[in-house]
Amino acid sequence: MTFLFVCTIYFVLPVYWVLVSSTKSTADLFGSFGLWFAHFRLGANLRQLFAADQGIFLRWLANSVLYAGLGAVLATVISAAAGYALAKYSFRGREAIFSVILAGVMVPPTALALPLYLMMSRAGLANSYLSVLLPSMVSPFGAYLARVYAASAVPDELIEAARIDGAGELRIFARVAAPAMTPALVTIGLFTFVGIWNNFFLPLVMLSSQNLYPVTLGLTVWEGQTYRDPSFYQLTVTGAAVSAVLLIAAVIMLQRFWRSGLTRSGLTTGALR
Site for other proteins in 232-261 (CB under 8 A): 232, 240, 243-244, 247-248, 250-252, 255-256, 258, 261
- Under 8 Å CB-to-CB from 172, ≥6 apart: which residues? 159, 162, 163
Site for other proteins in 178-217 (CB under 8 A): 183-184, 186-187, 190-191, 194, 197-198, 200, 204-205, 208-210, 216-217
Of the residues 37, 40, 44, 89, which one makes contact with other proteins according to CB under 8 A: 89
From the CB of residue 80, how many other CB atoms can be counted at a distance below 10 Å? 26
Query: What is the smallest separation between the CB atom of 43 and other proteins, expressed in angstroms?
Result: 19
Cα three-residue angle 246-195-84, rounded to 5 degrees: 120
Contact flag: residue 73 with other proteins (CB under 8 A): no
Query: What is the smallest separation between the CB atom of 121 and other proteins, expressed in angstroms?
Result: 4
Q: Are 182 and 260 in contact (CB under 8 A)?
A: yes
Whole-angstrom distance, CA of residue 35 vs CA of residue 192:
31
Query: What is the smallest separation between the CB atom of 134 and other proteins, expressed in angstroms?
Result: 7
- Contact map string, positions 131 to 160, toward other proteins, x by CB under 8 A: ---xx-xx-xx-xxx-xxx-xxx--x---x
Whole-angstrom distance, CA of residue 65 vs CA of residue 55:
16
Which C-beta is closer to other proteins: that of 58 or that of 102? 102
Residue 124 DSSP code: T
Which helix or strand (DSSP H or E) is residue 160 part of?
A: helix 156-164
Of the residues 50, 65, 117, 129, which one makes contact with other proteins according to CB under 8 A: 117
Whole-angstrom distance, CA of residue 247 vs CA of residue 235:
18
Query: What is the smallest separation between the CB atom of 48 and other proteins, expressed in angstroms?
Result: 13
Cα end-to-end span (Å), the chain: 34
Contact flag: residue 67 with other proteins (CB under 8 A): no
Contact flag: residue 60 with other proteins (CB under 8 A): no
Site for other proteins in 156-175 (CB under 8 A): 156, 160, 163, 169, 173
Of the residues 61, 116, 178, 242, which one makes contact with other proteins according to CB under 8 A: 116
From the CB of residue 125, how many other CB atoms can be counted at a distance below 10 Å? 16
Q: How many helices (H) and strands (E) does the chain have?
A: 14, 0
Of the residues 48, 104, 128, 167, which one makes contact with other proteins according to CB under 8 A: 104
Residues touching other proteins, count (CB under 8 A): 128
